[in-house]
């Protein structure tokens, strides 16, 4: 049987090479089928061959990442190369957040082993070669302050330094725990605008994160960044909560400025 071919691109490899030559590193199944004019079984076989040769990677069904030669050993380029295209393919609002955002803002003390992305609904991690993308679900994700930063292949949406600081407390365990968050905040603090921080916390509406964040900023000698936040918390008069959720609080001292039960010491690696 004669193999099906496209009049413009004879093989999937030709199609992939042409996209890379144009500076594109992603495509989806629908585009490939439309251009190559082949059946689904034929395309699937061709995809399988290129995946085995590490020419393309598949972070999620129906979406493909082109792997340039310098990333062949890793199995895929970094997630920053394709995250915007991936989220557009999924049809979900998103932003790069938590430790990944902190690193992009210059607080790169400890880079996470995963690329952390916040979106509307939590979903299973996506894997492409050595790149692992972890998704965190968040209500009203589109209201979070973000900035559009350049990536190696285009742009990506990233939480602002102020929103990143709040999320570090929201996803405390995934951010490496209290000590690591304190270390990251000590580096991130110089990029935080006090007024924008208070505004982001007010819009966020979860004062628990604001309380814990303010206390840690004080603890890492960046209390000047938290003055507007302190006014917001004082006016809200929130309930007293533990510094670290889930740990015992009996007999622990209380911080009245932030309405916190101090059930763990803040020890930043400075």
pLDDT at 113: 84
Expressed as residue numbers, the domain containing 201 is 79-261
Kindly state whether residues 83 and 25 are assigned to the same domain: no
Per the structure, how many domains does the chain have? 2
Q: Please write the tens of the pLDDT for every residue from 134-158.
A: 999 999 999 999 999 999 999 999 9
Q: Are residues 123 and 233 in the same domain?
A: yes
Q: Is 2 a residue whose pLDDT tops 70? A: no
Say if residue 1's pLDDT is above 90.
no
pLDDT in tens, 64-82: 999 999 999 999 999 999 9
pTM for the whole thing?
A: 0.92
Query: 66 and 83 share a domain?
Result: no
Q: What is the pLDDT of residues 82-129, one digit of tens each?
A: 999 999 999 999 999 999 999 999 997 667 789 999 999 999 999 999
- 78: tokens are 């970094």
> Are 83 and 183 in the same domain?
yes
Residue 201 inside a domain? The answer is yes
Q: Rounded to whole angstroms, how far apart are CA atoms 183 and 85?
A: 32
Instruction: Identify the band that residue 269 occupies on the pLDDT scale cut at 50, 70 and 90.
Output: confident
Summarize pLDDT for 154-203 with one digit per residue, the tens.
Answer: 999 999 999 999 999 999 999 999 999 999 999 999 999 999 999 999 99
Domain presence at residue 4 = no
Alpha helices in 115-206 (DSSP H): 161-170, 177-188, 194-204
* Residue 175 and residue 108 in one domain: yes
- For 68, other C-beta atoms within 10 Å of its C-beta total 12
For position 55, which CATH number holds?
1.10.10
Q: b/e string for 255-268 if b means 16 or more Cβ within 10 A? A: beebbbbbbeebeb
| 5 part of a folded domain | no
DSSP 95-117: EE-HHHHHHHTT--SS--SSEEE
User: How confident is the model over 188-242, as pLDDT tens digits?
Assistant: 999 999 999 999 999 988 899 999 999 999 999 999 999 999 999 999 989 999 9
58 and 106 together in one domain? no
Do 85 and 61 share a structural domain?
A: no
Instruction: Please name every residue paired with 133 in a beta bridge, in sequence order, or none if there are none.
Output: 115, 126
pLDDT at 43: 93
Q: What is the pLDDT of residue 110?
A: 65
């Amino acid at each position: 049987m004669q193999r099906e071919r496209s009049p413009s691109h004879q093989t999937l490899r030709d199609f992939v090479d042409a996209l890379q030559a144009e500076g594109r590193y992603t495509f989806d199944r629908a585009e490939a089928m439309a251009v190559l004019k082949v059946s689904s079984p034929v395309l699937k076989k061709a995809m399988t061959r290129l995946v085995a040769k590490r020419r393309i990677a598949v972070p999620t069904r129906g979406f493909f990442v082109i792997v340039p030669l310098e990333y062949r050993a890793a199995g895929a380029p970094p997630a920053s190369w394709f995250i915007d295209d991936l989220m557009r393919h999924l049809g979900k609002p998103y932003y790069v957040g938590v430790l990944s955002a902190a690193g992009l803002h210059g607080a790169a003390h400890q880079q996470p082993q995963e690329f952390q992305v916040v979106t509307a609904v939590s979903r299973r991690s996506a894997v492409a070669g050595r790149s692992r993308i972890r998704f965190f679900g968040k209500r009203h994700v589109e209201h979070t302050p973000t900035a559009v930063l350049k990536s190696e292949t285009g742009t990506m949406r990233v939480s602002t330094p102020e929103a990143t600081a709040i999320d570090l407390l929201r996803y405390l365990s995934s951010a490496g725990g209290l000590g690591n968050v304190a270390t990251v905040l000590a580096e991130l603090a110089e990029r935080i605008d006090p007024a924008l921080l208070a505004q982001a916390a007010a819009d966020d509406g979860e004062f628990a994160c604001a309380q814990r964040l303010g206390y840690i900023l004080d603890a890492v000698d960046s209390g000047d960044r938290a003055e507007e936040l302190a006014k917001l918390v004082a006016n809200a008069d929130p309930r007293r909560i533990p510094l670290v959720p889930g740990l015992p609080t009996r007999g622990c001292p209380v911080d009245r400025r932030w309405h916190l039960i101090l059930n763990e010491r803040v020890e930043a690696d400075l």
